[in-house]
Structure 1
C-alpha cells in the first residue's frame, strides 16, 4: 500500500499574518485535496482579502492574494502560507 502524504492536511496549520494598518487580513477561503499519495497531483487554493501578496515557505515566488499552487506529492511535508499586508 502506498504511504499517505499528509502534507495536504497540515498545509494550512500555521499562518503568520503580518498587518500594519487598520484593515486586517481576512482569510476568505483555503482548500486542498484532503489526502494524497506519492506521485499524486495536489492543488492548493486560497482567497485572502487585504493582503498585498502571499508567500509559501520553500518557494521563492510571491503569490497573489487569490491564487493556487499545483505540486506533485513526493514526501510528507508541511506548507506554511504567510500573507503580507
Structure 2
C-alpha cells in the first residue's frame, strides 16, 4: 500500500486524476484531459499506469476508481 501511495504522490497528475475521479465519478479520457488541463496522450499514459496497478477500471472507454483506487485517493486526500 505504501508503495502505491508513493507511486501516486510522486506525480501531481496522478494525484489530480485520482482526485477528479473520486469527486466526479466515471469519466472518459477526453473529459479527464479537459478537466485536468493536460494533453490527452499524457492522460492516456497515466490511465494505463493506474489500470495496470489496479487503481482504476476501464469499461467501454469509461474510467472509474476501483476499491483500491478509492482507498488510496481517500488516504492521499486526508494527508
TM-score range, shorter chain: under 0.3
- Name the structure where strand makes up a greater proportion of residues: 1
Task: Report the structure number with the largest CA radius of gyration.
Answer: 1
What TM-score results when the alignment is normalised by the length of structure 1? 0.25
- Bigger RCO (CA 8 Å, 6+ sep): 1
- Name the structure where helix makes up a greater proportion of residues: 2
What TM-score results when the alignment is normalised by the length of structure 2? 0.26
